[in-house]
Amino acid sequence: MSSRIHHPGLRSKVMSAAEAAAINQHGTTVGMSGFTGSGYPKAVPMALAERAKELHARGEEFRINLHTGASTSAEMDGALAEADAVALRTPFQSDPTMRAKINAGAIEYIDTHLSHLAQTVWNGFYGPMTTAVIEVSGIREDGRLVPSSSVGNNKSWIDLADQVILEVNSWQSEDLEGLHDVYYGTALPPHRTPIMLTHPADRIGETYLRCDPAKVVAVVETHAPDRNSPFKPADADSIAIAQHLVEFFEHEVAQGRYDERLLPLQSGVGNIANAVMSELVKSRFTGLSAFTEVVQDGMLDALDSGTLATASATAFSLSTEAAERFNDNAAKYRDKLILRTQEISNHPELVRRLGILAMNGMLEADLYGNVNSTHLMGTKMMNGLGGSGDFARNAFTSFFLTPSTAKGGDISCIVPMVSHVDHTEHDVSIIVTEQGLAVLRRRLQGVLVARRWVMIDYDIRRDLLEAATAVTPGLESPTVSPLRDETMVAVRSMVRKPDANRVMDELYALGARGILISAIHAIRL
């Protein structure tokens, strides 16, 4: 297997996963690769879990603080959680065992924006990073590393860690080489400079990860696939949600708000996101671009069909079949696909400047437009915020997607008030269920329109009604209500705010009395 390791000095550091795991001590902070089940180390975490079990059986403590890119797999998060080997976990997880331990208080969990974690660790807020455990697909003669199927925070973990353990996974296609764009221009304030990326297809970094060979303390060879989870066939709800989105895109193009090639797309992880891409493949749209976190099956299909011309992400999240298809054809995707660090894929300034159409899942939304992405019943953590906040607040249009009910219809996903707020109504543009779209920007439009009008109420004799309503015609027609005195009526009508005083004077001169002016806070025309 050593054919993937071309640096002589690093070839001499090849050892077993158990030997590499023994390097890690209790209480240290470890940064591992991995993002949505791709590019995570396959062997060392399981060996660490076994080491923890052995030490615990002898009455010795062994727990680490664990930082990753995002979620990983049962062989990593699950095994370490089961072995009680994790004291602290950031920034996102999806493993059932890890989730249960977090909700039980056995593991501390810090839920944070994916774009924020690297800078937070760079600032030293979590203490020094002792070890980085990083999967790569190869090591070059000069020691540079060929990244694997995710980049995530790998660049930062390698730079920050005192020592590095490399897993070289020969299952990953050798044709991954050339697919990546690792940007080394990030810095902490006040030393930041503009990021010169103006289109999702731009390459602004390097093909390889830099790593001082002297920092590498172990190299472990593996041959194991990523957590390639199958996608369920799109159900009726997912298809309906996707169709509503495509229809909305068509409408926005017709209104001149989107270009024929839309704007760069971002979609979250899961069956609904996959269904959206599948419906786009069936649509008339071609030559689109994506600036997102993950490439799923549907996005790979869109690249194959020409619906997508290019896609920029930080990781794959493919089914077994799609992963095999990618591995067999990786070379042809190098001109269409770019994998970046998550500091760039999720960068709020880039999201804002590129004008992203952000489509993310949620647990529930309320009648005000607030969205809960993370907590069940307000108290129990599901997976975490992930990158949804990076995109939602800064997107050109921010969509949140969910079926209208959960648990077979027993639980409504649209509630009077969410139990936990991750995204306020100010960060949410459109909520989409299988029932349709709720366009929250109409509320903003309603407020703006309302500011230009007031409501006027007055009493007037019936024989003067025609003259009075000529002064107050309203938008369509005034409301006229009878009074106890049959010779009188009450009139209610909208009046433009600048005309209010003049209208009051004219009505009074006609004989109207009890003239009231009241504000309108919102209106839907």
Please report the domains of the chain, with CATH numbers, ordered by start residue.
2-222 (3.40.1080.10), 236-316+356-439 (3.40.1080.10), 447-519 (3.30.70.120)
pLDDT bin (cut points 50, 70, 90) of residue 228 is confident
Give the angle subtended at the CA of 393 by the CAs of 293 and 269, to the nearest 5°.
Answer: 30
**Residue 180 near residue 334 (C-beta atoms within 8 A):** no
Among 474, 387, 370, which residue's Cα sits nearest to residue 424? 370
pLDDT for 488 equals: 96
With a threshold of 0.75, does the pTM exceed it? yes
Residue 234's pLDDT is what? 85
pLDDT band at 503 (very low <50, low <70, confident <90, very high): very high
The pair of three-digit structure tokens given for residue 44, joined into one six-digit string: 């060392």
Give 2's pLDDT tier (boundaries 50, 70, 90): low
Read off the pLDDT band of 442 (50, 70, 90).
low
Quick one: pLDDT at residue 106? 97
**The pLDDT of residue 465 is above 70:** yes
Instruction: Tell me the per-residue pLDDT of 172-191, one tens digit each, with 9 for 90 and over.
Output: 999 999 999 999 999 999 99
Q: Which residue has the higher pLDDT, 525 or 209?
A: 209
- DSSP element (H, E) containing 457: strand 453-461
pLDDT of 251 reads 93
pLDDT digits (tens, 9 = 90+) for 150-170: 999 999 999 999 999 999 999
How many residues appear in the chain? Answer: 525
75, 82, 135, 293: which one is catalytic?
A: 293
Question: How many beta carbons lie within 10 A of that of residue 219, not counting itself?
Answer: 24
Per-residue pLDDT tens digits for 357-409:
999 999 999 988 999 999 998 899 999 999 999 999 999 999 999 999 999 88
| CA distance linking residue 391 with residue 375, whole number of Å | 19
- Mean pLDDT, rounded, of the chain: 94
Per the annotation, the verdict on 293 as an active-site residue is yes
Beta pairing partners, 376:
380
Residue-level pLDDT at 41? 98
Residue 261 Cα to chain centre, angstroms? 22
pLDDT in the model for residue 438? 83
